[in-house]
Structure 1
């Protein structure tokens, strides 16, 4: 999506963190941080770090002497992430393109990316860059969403947007769920030069205890809200309809499914 990096500004980071984080990101972030810690790295790079949901958990788990750098294209998201750390905590926060990383070859033991690779305009380049900055034997840990069928909140988000724009529905909520074929992921990583990856499926049910907060995250925590304004549609009206649809179709809890991939540099 051209210009996507410019649409995560204003109140988007706050709504992303508070409205999406507790519902769909935090549990997977904890698992990602645990797996990274189990590798006992001395240096970690995170790409597409967003508001630092994974970064905060990484810093809590890995030893203080382990270097940690969090990067993202979106400076407002990184500014929000920086607020999660005290001045004496060792976290580097830098704006960087995952497809053109500004780091030396072999600089990191682990590279991490939670739910970011689906958005990269050149996925092959992003894999090549992750491989380049890893030390030999280093690990690339990343996660992707399952399909709409496995994550009905994504289908609902798209469908509600389509109710208001039936002739040209906002397309954002197609992107996150577009890269879930394990065979394709394996092939793409091997083409980039990684060893055969391991792919684990992680599934859980998340309590939908505040549909209105989740709906606000879905609309205002992503480019959808800005796109609705550009089309002359009141995002608050869409939020109300989103919350209603989430309650009606999901009830008190929802299934959430992701894939966590670990690929090693030879």
Structure 2
């Protein structure tokens, strides 16, 4: 998530995190912790939302390593942990993991695989897992089920009809199950369990949520095009969410796909 820098990181963590990532992160941590792994790696850890849930549930003596390619993301993640909590943060590339073979009992990646080469990344996870080790990751389902992408694109198209910023379409561009399954099989993983998980969240401050969506890396596309005040887009997007999903609260739907597999 190299595009998450400077003024993008805080709204991502504070206003997108509770809506889009906390629920799924807690579920991921529960699934990983149920087998009491000793060494866990989290890839594309971002601002440490899932990392915090993992550390809360893993055995106290378990070693947790969190990596991301964004310095700004990692800097914020570090602030969520005390020095004695056995969390190691590293800036690292998911396609070239800086770890020895068979280093981990579990590897986790929440909503990250759409941003890097999957064949290389899956191969690296397989290499660094121990026999019997688990690999869990999520992707967003299509934009049909995730209005942070579809509704945002509709609103952005009003402001930029001929050259609409598309960054928020990238996270939902990895929803086709079969290609991912085939890449996992080629990497050597077996068995592979796939589940679709729907969730609804009550957004109390829809304006803050809309602003955080605009101040993802899509803000750089908006600024490059020029001629539009980003706050006007925020206002239009917030109103679109209220009209589509109600107000006080806004009942926001989302849908993700979970992959769980092992190294035999």
The TM-score range, normalised by the shorter chain, is over 0.9
3-state SS of paired residue (2:138): strand
Which residue in the other structure is 2:57 paired with? 61
Q: Confirm or deny: 8 A CA contact 1:201 1:260 kept in the other structure.
A: yes
Any conservation in 2 of the 1:196–1:263 contact (CA below 8 Å)? Answer: yes
The reply to whether residue 224 of structure 1 matches residue 222 of structure 2 is no
Tell me the residue number matched to 2:102: 106
1:185 deviates by 2.0
Query: What does the per-residue CA deviation read over 1:141-193, in whole Å, with 9 as the maximum and x for residues that have no partner?
Result: 10011111111232011222222211111111111111112222211110111
Asked if structure 1 preserves the Cα contact closer than 8 Å seen for 2:29 and 2:54, the reply is: yes
Q: Is the 8 A contact 2:148 2:168 kept in 1?
A: no
1:35 maps onto 2:31 in alignment: yes
Q: Secondary structure of the equivalent of 1:247? A: helix
- CA deviation string 1:33-67 (max 9, x = no partner): 00010121000000000000000000000012101
Unpaired runs of 5+ residues, structure 1, are: none
CA distance in 2, matches of 1:187, 1:28: 24
Offset at residue 246 of structure 1 (A) = 1.0
Q: Is the 8 A contact 2:193 2:260 kept in 1?
A: yes
* Over 4 Å off, 4+ runs: none
TM-score norm. by structure 1 comes to 0.95
- 1:108 is displaced (CA, Å) by 0.2
Contact 1:186 1:196 in 2 (8 A): no
In structure 2, stretches of 5+ residues that fail to align are: none
The aligned residue for residue 263 of structure 2 is 265
Q: Secondary structure at the match of 1:84?
A: coil
Q: What is the 5 A alignment of 1:122-201?
A: 122-201=117-196
Q: What's the TM-score once normalised by structure 2's chain length?
A: 0.95
Match of 1:255 among 243, 253, 256: 253
CA contact (8 A) 1:82 1:93 kept: yes
Between the aligned partners of 2:128 and 2:157, the Cα distance in structure 1 is 41
What SS does the corresponding residue of 2:143 show, helix, strand or coil? coil
